[in-house]
Structure 1
Amino acid sequence: MALDPQVVAWRAARAAAGTAPLYTQTLAEARAADLAAIRAGSGAVEPVHEVRDTQVPGPDGPLPVRIHRSAGDGPLPTLVYFFGGGWTLGSVDTADGICRRLVNATGCQTVTVGYRLAPEHRFPAAVDDCYSALRWLAAHADEVGADPERLAVGGDSAGGNLAAAVTLLARADGGPRLVAQLLVYPNTDQRPGRFDDSSSARLAPRSDLEPSPADEDPLLFNRHSVAWYRQHYLADPADAAHPLASPLLAEDLAGLPPALVITAEHDPLRDEGERYAARLRDAGVPTEATRYEGMIHGFFAMPGVFDAGRRAQEQAAAFLRDRFGLTAAGVAGPAADGATHG
């Protein structure tokens, strides 16, 4: 249960700087601080072949999107990426470093969707935006240079939640067809009592029955962070039981795209992410799940601080290459069979 030494050093630096928890700040302060922290932890900005900001139609007006594209002629396999930030913070800038690295390591393109944020726009606004953008991109793939037969969705934290929700909607509608879902420490269960209510504990127990140091630590993402984001996102507490808010509560997960689920040992969202991965496997969905020991929520976005963040991004790129049928960045290989378990 020990924190990774790099996490210990990072936490000590935050303590020395007097860093305040995001949930104690105003929305404007928290949004600025979140982006600044991600940029500071992302490391060197990797150049990519093309970066383009544009818009796609949304259910309540145009949605900003950022396209990162690797070199290559013709349509490229495309990851539609949803940024993290508890549905309350974040923008296409938040995922810029992640998308640059995935594009370079995979040979694909990414399209980051600037969905509407809470509390200005509560559930299901973000889900509606993300799904609307995916449907438009699939129907207009030629306009963005995407291969409509090789579309995937992904995201970290709240973005992982949105990616999971989008797969449920795509299955219900009979498309767009998705070849993969990348879920990085996703929220999958919004019920407020799941940390301490006995009935919730039976549904999603901690696998080691010991509290994580991160659960209460104000210098780390903790259960108070989870509650703060949830209260901004949900329009009604009853929405916590909706499968598009809590994909773990969906009755059936069969027929969803092959998944990679990445979790962090010291993360209040760890168990719900791992339980979702287990339910995907039980439903016959090819699923790989990896827990990064000693790590905390947010590590995936900070490869400039945490070596595990770099390794996790490399793992994500390898998963996408396999699902897109690429043997190296931009080089076509045999079609993936989808049978990856872990």
Structure 2
Amino acid sequence: MPMPDDAPDPAFDALLGDSRMALRRPPPHVSLTDLRRAANAFQARAPRSDVTAVADHVVPGPGGSIPVRLYRPTLERTAAILFCHGGGFIFGNLDTHDAMCRTLANASGRTVVAVDYRLAPEHPFPAALDDAQAALEWLRREVRSLDLDADRIAVAGDSAGGHIALGLALRCRDEGVPLDHIGLIYPLLDPAGDSASARQFAQGYLLTAAFLAWAWDAYRGGGAADPSVDLTRADLHGLPATTIVTAHFDPLRDEGEALARRLGDAAVDVALRRYPGMIHGFAGLPQLTPVANAAIAFVASRIAPSQASESQASAPRLSAP
């Protein structure tokens, strides 16, 4: 049954009805440690599907060791997806997105490599991006020992992880490092946060304008300007095929869809799908809605090995789920 556009899916009624669940800047008596513990525990509750193998590694990075986790859908050689988790640059870890990475691995047939990058505000930009790049460089060095396809590596991420994934893809393009796909799930892109959806859904839909302002301030190190932070201004020419998922009741909806239009204008093969009735973070809530795994499957279908040779540059395609 089609979902209405006048209200979120009833599956989120309890979540949205509990004001304690709204993402906002914590009051002075709540420590960052406590916020992270609560937010991470909530995200880590998602049910997990089985994969053939899971292995943790530690890779060298510019700020020290970086934990990564590999999810193998098969013991045969596969292509890879480097995955950057969301969490407003402030929270999130390997466990919060364990379920999502398992689903993505099984649906795409690729080995997913999740990166536990450094978090803000302790480690502002470009720490997270540098860590993601270091993980990608490790992956490319170790493809033979990991039995992965060196010629087919994609990057993906949700929310703030989408910002990191896109920033990494831009670095790779500029440095001549090949990628074969970018997968972005409701990406966080615009520090200004002044789109129509950002204003319309500023509060009452889990992700709030107050939290976004805090997240950007933390990531930019108190407001430091850098052109690599505001990806709404990035030159998108020469990027690989890209898939974008947005949610109707999400403050970030319009910036993700604006990115799709800009990618199309830059002759990038881009597919966009907006999910009606959904809120920010829905892809990490399969316990509440089956649309979560359906959205991941959509991204996976575009990244899947069978799709690798079929991409052709086109205008963005907004499709119904």
Question: Does the pair score TM above 0.5?
Answer: yes
Matches within 5 A, 1:1-342: 1-12=6-17, 14-15=18-19, 18-19=20-21, 21-24=23-26, 25-40=30-45, 42=46, 44-73=47-76, 75-175=77-177, 177-191=178-192, 194-195=193-194, 205-206=195-196, 211-212=199-200, 214-217=201-204, 220-239=206-225, 242-250=226-234, 252-321=235-304, 324-325=305-306, 335-339=309-313, 341-342=316-317
Deviation at residue 167 of structure 1 after TM alignment: 0.6
Identity, in percent, stands at 37
Structure 1 residue ranges, 4+ long, deviating more than 3 angstroms after superposition: 18-22, 338-341
Contact 1:122-1:232 within 8 A present in 2 as well: yes
Amino acid in structure 2 at the alignment position of 1:38: Q
1-structure distance, mates of 2:92, 2:171: 23
Closer, same or farther: CA 178–19 of 1 in aligned 2, 3 Å: closer
With normalisation by structure 1, the TM-score equals 0.85
Unaligned runs of 5+ in 2: 1-5
Q: Return the offset for 1:339.
A: 4.9
* Contact 2:22–2:206 (Cα < 8 Å) also in 1: no
Letter in 2 for 1:66: R
Question: Residue deviations 1:257-296, cap 9 Å, x none?
Answer: 1111111111111111111111111000000011111211
Between the aligned partners of 2:69 and 2:181, the Cα distance in structure 1 is 20
The answer for unaligned runs of 5 or more in structure 1 is 196-204, 327-333
Amino acid at match of 1:188: L
CA RMSD of aligned residues (A): 1.9
* Equivalent residues, number: 308
Whole-angstrom CA distance in 1 between matches of 2:87 and 2:262: 25
What is the CA deviation profile of residues 299-331 of structure 1, one whole-angstrom value per residue up to 9, with x for unaligned ones?
01111112221221121121121xx226xxxxx
Q: Could you tell me whether the CA contact under 8 Å between 2:22 and 2:207 is conserved in 1?
A: no
CA contact (8 A) 1:187 1:246 kept: no
Residue 236 of structure 1 and its aligned partner are, at CA, apart by 4.4
**Amino acid corresponding to residue 25 of structure 2 in structure 1:** Y
